[in-house]
Amino acid sequence: MPRPALVALALAVLTAGPPDRLTAQDHGSIVIVSGQFPGQPIPTLTRGSADNDIADLLFLRLARLGPTLRTAGDRDFVPQLARRWERRDSLTLVFELDPRARWHDGVPVTSRDVVWSFGRARDAAVAPAHATALRWVREVVADGDRRVIIRFAKPYPTQFFDATWQLPVLPAHLLDSIPPAQLGTSSYAKAPIGNGPFRYVRALPGQLVEIAAVTGHFLGSPKIERVIYRAAADGDARINLMLSGEGDGLEQLSLRSQQERFAGSTEFRLIPVPSFQIGFVLFNHRDPADRNAPHPILADGGTRRALVLALDRATIVASLFGTAAVVPEGPASMSLWVRTPTAPLAGGDTARAAALLAAAGWTDHDGNGVRDRDGRPLKLTLIFPGTSPSRRLAAQLVQEQWRRVGVQIELTPLEFPAYIERRNARSFDLDLTSINQDPNPAGLAQGWSCGGGTNLGSFCDPAVDSLLARAEAAPDGGLALWQSLLRRIDSDAPAAFLFAPANVVAVHRRFDGVVLRPEGLWSGLAAWRVTPGRQLPRDRTGAQ
Amino acid sequence: MKPFRTPGARIAVATLVAFALLALLAPWLLQNPNAMPDPVGERLLGPSLAHPFGTDALSRDLLARLARGGAISLQVGLSAALLASIVGGSIGMLAGSAGRVADTLMMRGTDAFASVPRAFAILFVVAAWPEMPLWAFTLLLGVTGWYAVARIVRAESLRLMATDALTAARALGAGRARIIFRHLLPNVAGQLAVATALGVGEAMLLEAGLSFLGAGVRPPTPSWGGMIHDGKDVLLTAPWATLAPGLALTAAVLATNRIGDALRDAFDPRTR
Amino acid sequence: MTRWLARRAAQGVLTWAVAVIALFLLVRLLPGDPLAAANELPPETQEALRRLYGLDQPLLTQLGHFLGGLFHGDLGVSLLHGRPVTEVLLGHLPTTLLLGGAVFVADFAIAYWLGTRLAARAGGLEDRWTMRVLLTGHALPPFWLGLVLVWIFALGLRWFPAAGVSDPFLASHIPWSGRALDVLRHMVLPWLTLVLTTLVVPLRHHREAVLETLDADWVRAARARGVPESQVLRRHAARAALGPLVVLLGLWMPMLLTGAVLVETTFAWPGLGWLMAQAVGGRDYPLATGCVLLGAAAVVAGNLLADLLQRLLDPRVST
């Protein structure tokens, strides 16, 4: 055979679609493309969002957050493993398990599992993060097979949230014999058995995890038979997998440049889902060179407010995210249930900013474009992780906007772990950071109270602390108090709160009944289905 | 000048000179490369009269950035590649001509150094020296890029040392310096020129990749590699953002390659 | 020869051991630690996690543990994956070797054949344009070429998959040949990207070496004796010019394992280069150490191989 013909044949063979696919009359399948590989989708072992995504489908909690995302009280929660509950007194909750709940191996879910799971999670040596979250739980006891009594050490409005949200229930009958330290390398970890609407099928390390619908699940059988969770670390690779027809769902497309890649495609819908993310420039109130001294520039409230006013945050948001983000008032993401409706002065006010700076003594005496005071230029360094596309762009935008009012910013991009180290050492003037908030507004204390563990800017306002304490203890949930807290923080200007983005998710148009939840994006997958008649070949391939 | 008689070599030199001149004159000829006229409305504009190469994701003029970026990219690329060739060439020729013990020590040392991934070594130094100036960074790129050159040059030197010509020269009492400069260098000059030309583009791209990790130039200062990396996110939706710096970088690499060839020919009159 | 090989291998092991200890320390001295991702947790929780991972122990104690484990083939447990490092490494090794091996073979076969051919036509149209095209490929970052190839062949024509190693929907009962074909389909674009961006290095060095030998006295003598030019080229000059190619062959060994980070990322190819970048970026000390340990072994082994080949080619050379 002549060489060109051979090449043509080889091409034809290689480019032909994979042959021989199973056909069955199943309902459908979905390929979720993700940045991480879920290597440990087991509660207490999870190490990232991918692990949590799969764990949410394999394991149920006693109850889950309702659509309002309200964490106070129990009014808005939806039953899961517990079919009902009651409050005995201000310190005691009683849950009654659904008798139909089964582990994937057929064994019923009992109160023993719940008690065992809490015991494991509250052991600080095994699960430090859970132990911290559950620190106010005093004891968990079984009352027969179906009832669990949870007692708290003090009365507070989010007891129910802690008892349910913080911990999916693990199978005591399978894990009791495995020492906690060996759980991660045990055979159970290779094929976890849960109680959720999907069961574990297989994993190809670094590539994908496959889970399948549990038929006859007590909360209803999922109509999506088969879920493939594919990992691709690179953002472009993920979008490519979607546009080449190999993927059905992809999250984290908040940036305009990412959404623009879907512009020519008719196969996908872009759905903005409120997220718990918030991005801001944190001001250090202490001198990075001497943590006991106030910051020579930023300790002054007027200067901080001037810096915030000098920013046109609306433009920053529009340039980076288009319509997929808002300017927040105070540290409130789009999903925080106590957020305020709008932020004042998102467009900035450079005239007022200039006046405030001049009032603080900062004027451009030498005419070099940079304000100075007593011979010291108004110069600050801003640290950020250089590999984050959104923050790389945002950093250059704030630098340019501050330059226009005579503030010189030196940008210091850092490798991610090095950035975290600098941040934790509080060795920065300005820190362009982005965090995922706790759904519970009580989490705000960590970052913004005087003694908060992650209050890296050393911000301290006694009024904020007292509002925090009152809001946390308010029996009605304290919405009004939380909102005045947010306004108070905003006016203190401990940071320039830049953006609260939505999590933009691309979903293939053939899906119907699409539910995407801020607190666990894919956890509503059991309700999805493929519109009849719109099945793709892969929808008809049965689970293995 | 003798090596630059051919038109190809002249064009190559002219290209590099043009880039350098453009970078020098840009402040007078072109707009501010960091100015953002309208980061919402003039974001990612295609090429037009106002912006011959279009604008980037922050509405900055790509022509102005390209012109300015050349200064840094050429400086880093050429110096780092030259340095790597000089260090690698010296070590290679010394190891190849110094006898077994010295050779073993030098080559095992090279192996040990080469075992440390380059990006890794750079991360480490950058962490230890956070405000590293550009010249130090260029030096760092150079001294982490010489292993391959050293190996190739050493192998050639060993081969040459075993030839009759060199055995004779040594028998006649030729010193180390004479052996290296009269006999080895002319014969490895071609390989050195090749390695240098290949190293230029690598260093330019590495500079950009590492600037994301805190090394190299800081944003918003433009460099070609940095522009290519920044344009990655919009590569398929706004191809002009990477195309212009990509072409400039390629032109610089091709020019260095051509100049390397010309210099090699001048050095070793036997070739062709 | 055997004595030389034994001595040289012993040196290699010693070099490797020194490199491994240096790398172990270097990995841990990089700024930041594995808890970077746990940044939003309260400090006391982070302390507890640090104790859990054994990061609170002195560096030398950790080194002792590591060396002790190394003798039993135990590299510890990956902090990111929660699985033994050896298991994670072995899981990624096949994909790495497959892609790296295919690129390796293509690079050197083409470099030898085409480099010889172009040397004979040096300065001609074919030579000039091949060099320009391949130098351009080398000058551009691999992700650029990779994305363009994906855009044409995966998103536009849909001939090849955009990323990954295998089709997740391939039924379990199909024969191995079908699976192999599926993996090959996934490999085409990353392979092409890598070959187009790396080929010029061995090609250019080999072309240069052939050019040098074409001018050597003994080649001129052969020509003068009336040996046909094609034979002069293929039999004499090309073989005598193998030196740089052999050295590069040795230098390419580590690239086989960890060199293709950017391409592996663009194509979501789960290889060791990507794994190492991930381990270093996440400060997964045990896994990063495991990766660099393999990389260092490849450096040492590659250079040993190069020296060995060089001796076989030219017995007069003493190394």
- For the stretch B52-79, pLDDT in tens is 999 999 999 999 999 998 888 898 999 9
- Interchain CB distance below 8 Å, B228 and C144: yes
Cα–Cα distance measured from residue B127 to residue B140, given in angstroms and rounded to the nearest whole number: 13
Cα–Cα distance measured from residue C311 to residue C3, given in angstroms and rounded to the nearest whole number: 13
- Interchain CB distance below 8 Å, C212 and B127: no
- Residue owning tokens 């095209």: C133
Cα–Cα distance measured from residue B84 to residue A512, given in angstroms and rounded to the nearest whole number: 60
pTM summary value: 0.89
Q: Which of C31, C131, C208 sits opposite B190 (nearest CB)?
A: C208
Tokens representing B255?
């020019």
The answer to whether the beta carbons of residues A410 and B218 sit under 8 Å apart is yes
- Interchain CB distance below 8 Å, C15 and B111: yes
pLDDT at residue B269 in the model? 52
- Shortest distance between the Cα of A359 and any Cα of chain C, in A, equals 36
The answer to whether the beta carbons of residues A413 and A393 sit under 8 Å apart is no
User: Does residue A404 surpass a pLDDT of 80?
Assistant: yes
Cα–Cα distance measured from residue A185 to residue A203, given in angstroms and rounded to the nearest whole number: 15
By the CB < 8 Å criterion, does A263 face chain B?
yes
- Residue owning tokens 């055997």: C2
The residue type at A158: T
- ipTM of this model? 0.87
The answer to whether the beta carbons of residues B119 and B58 sit under 8 Å apart is no
Nearest CA in chain A to C30: A418
When pLDDT is averaged across residues B130-156 and rounded to a whole number, the result is 86
pLDDT at residue A30 in the model? 95
pLDDT digits (tens, 9 = 90+) for B213-236: 777 788 888 988 888 888 888 888
By the CB < 8 Å criterion, does A39 face chain C?
yes
Q: Which residues of C touch B209 (CB under 8 A)?
A: 141
- Interchain CB distance below 8 Å, A319 and B58: yes
Q: Which of B43, B214, B235 sits opposite A386 (nearest CB)?
A: B214
Q: Which of residues 416-475 of A touch C (CB under 8 A)?
A: 416-424, 435-436, 446, 453-454
Q: Which residues of B touch A392 (CB under 8 A)?
A: 212, 219, 230
Q: Does residue A213 sit in helix, strand or coil?
A: strand
Please tell me the total number of residues recorded for chain B in this structure: 272
Q: Which of residues 196-255 of C touch A (CB under 8 A)?
A: none
Q: Does residue C67 sit in helix, strand or coil?
A: helix
Q: Which of A261, A396, A410 sits opposite B58 (nearest CB)?
A: A396
Residue of B15, B97, B111 to mutate when probing chain C, most C C-beta within 10 A: B111
User: Does residue A394 surpass a pLDDT of 60?
Assistant: yes
The answer to whether the beta carbons of residues C122 and C207 sit under 8 Å apart is yes
CA neighbours closer than 13 Å in the CB half-sphere of residue C55: 21
Q: Which of A231, A244, A435 sits opposite C161 (nearest CB)?
A: A244
Average pLDDT, chain B: 85
Q: Which of residues 17-46 of A touch B (CB under 8 A)?
A: none
- Interchain CB distance below 8 Å, B250 and C276: no
When pLDDT is averaged across residues A391-403 and rounded to a whole number, the result is 95
By the CB < 8 Å criterion, does B177 face chain A?
no
Q: Which residues of C touch A207 (CB under 8 A)?
A: 164-166, 268, 270
Residue of C52, C96, C169, C173 to mutate when probing chain A, most A C-beta within 10 A: C169
pLDDT band at C254 (very low <50, low <70, confident <90, very high): confident
Residue of B126, B232, B233, B234 to mutate when probing chain A, most A C-beta within 10 A: B233
pLDDT digits (tens, 9 = 90+) for B86-128: 999 999 999 988 888 888 888 888 888 888 877 777 877 877 7
Cα–Cα distance measured from residue B233 to residue A83, given in angstroms and rounded to the nearest whole number: 47
Q: Which of C19, C30, C303 sits opposite B124 (nearest CB)?
A: C30
Nearest CA in chain A to B35: A400
Chains that touch C (3 or more CB pairs under 8 A): A, B
pLDDT at residue B172 in the model? 84
Q: Which of B36, B40, B218 sits opposite A400 (nearest CB)?
A: B36
Residue of B5, B120, B124 to mutate when probing chain C, most C C-beta within 10 A: B120
Cα–Cα distance measured from residue A123 to residue A117, given in angstroms and rounded to the nearest whole number: 10
Beta strands in C104-174 (DSSP E): none
- Interchain CB distance below 8 Å, B191 and C138: no
pLDDT at residue C63 in the model? 87
- Phi, psi (5° rounding) for residue B170? -65, -40
pLDDT at residue A217 in the model? 94
The answer to whether the beta carbons of residues C213 and B163 sit under 8 Å apart is no
Nearest CA in chain A to B216: A413
By the CB < 8 Å criterion, does B124 face chain A?
no
Q: Which of C283, C285, C305, C281 is nearest to C293 (CA)?
A: C285
Cα–Cα distance measured from residue A265 to residue C41, given in angstroms and rounded to the nearest whole number: 40
pLDDT at residue A317 in the model? 96
By the CB < 8 Å criterion, does A233 face chain C?
yes
User: Does residue A544 surpass a pLDDT of 50?
Assistant: no
Q: Which of B102, B271, B94 is nearest to B184 (CA)?
A: B94
- Shortest distance between the Cα of B250 and any Cα of chain C, in A, equals 5
Q: Which of A386-390, C171-175, C204-208 has the lowest mean pLDDT?
A: C171-175
Q: Which of A225-234, A265-274, A357-366, C220-229 has the lowest mean pLDDT?
A: C220-229
Nearest CA in chain A to C179: A18
- Interchain CB distance below 8 Å, B117 and C143: no
Chains that touch A (3 or more CB pairs under 8 A): B, C
pLDDT band at A359 (very low <50, low <70, confident <90, very high): very high
Q: Which residues of C touch A544 (CB under 8 A)?
A: 171-172
Q: Does residue B176 sit in helix, strand or coil?
A: helix
- Phi, psi (5° rounding) for residue C233? -65, -55
Nearest CA in chain A to B212: A386
When pLDDT is averaged across residues A476-492 and rounded to a whole number, the result is 93
Q: Which residues of B touch A257 (CB under 8 A)?
A: 57, 233-234, 237
pLDDT at residue B197 in the model? 85
By the CB < 8 Å criterion, does B121 face chain A?
no
The answer to whether the beta carbons of residues B261 and B255 sit under 8 Å apart is no
pLDDT at residue A17 in the model? 45
- Interchain CB distance below 8 Å, A417 and C185: no
pLDDT digits (tens, 9 = 90+) for A18-48: 433 333 444 799 999 999 889 889 988 887 8
Q: Which residues of C touch B257 (CB under 8 A)?
A: 131, 135
By the CB < 8 Å criterion, does C174 face chain A?
yes
By the CB < 8 Å criterion, does C91 face chain A?
yes
- Interchain CB distance below 8 Å, A243 and C155: yes
Q: Which of residues 132-191 of A touch C (CB under 8 A)?
A: 132, 184-185, 189
User: Does residue A130 surpass a pLDDT of 60?
Assistant: yes
Q: Which residues of C touch A282 (CB under 8 A)?
A: none
Q: Count A/C contacts: CB-CB distance under 8 Å.
A: 184
Alpha helix (H) residue ranges in A166-281: 172-175, 187-190, 235-243, 256-260
- Shortest distance between the Cα of A128 and any Cα of chain C, in A, equals 5
pLDDT digits (tens, 9 = 90+) for C36-72: 666 666 677 777 777 777 788 888 888 888 888 888 8
A 10 A CB-CB count for A231 gives 25
Q: Which residues contact A102 (CB under 8 A, 6 or more apart)?
A: A108, A109, A195, A218
Q: Which of A40, A233, A417 sits opposite C82 (nearest CB)?
A: A40
Cα–Cα distance measured from residue A481 to residue A465, given in angstroms and rounded to the nearest whole number: 12
